[in-house]
Amino acid sequence: MPRMGTPEEVAAAVLFLSSSASAFTTGSVVAVDGGYLVA
């Protein structure tokens, strides 16, 4: 994915991290970069 993330994609990550769905997520670094760090 050689492109910049959209505001909506970043907002989706923020919404997840601020929701109860992420209640079991602790001490994690969540890179919202479209897989750029994997390459």
Question: Whole-model pTM?
Answer: 0.69
Q: How far, in Å, are 18, 20, 25 from residue 4 at the CA level? A: 23, 28, 26
Write the Ramachandran bin of 35: left for phi over 0, alpha for psi from -120 to 50, otherwise beta: left
Confidence of residue 29 (pLDDT cuts 50, 70, 90): confident
Which comes out higher in pLDDT, residue 2 or 33?
A: 33
Q: What is the dihedral of CA 19, 20, 24, 27, to 10 degrees?
A: 30
Confidence of residue 18 (pLDDT cuts 50, 70, 90): very high
Which comes out higher in pLDDT, residue 13 or 4?
A: 13
Hey, CA dihedral for 9, 16, 37, 1, is it positive or negative?
A: negative
The DSSP output letter for 19 is S
pLDDT of residue 3: 76
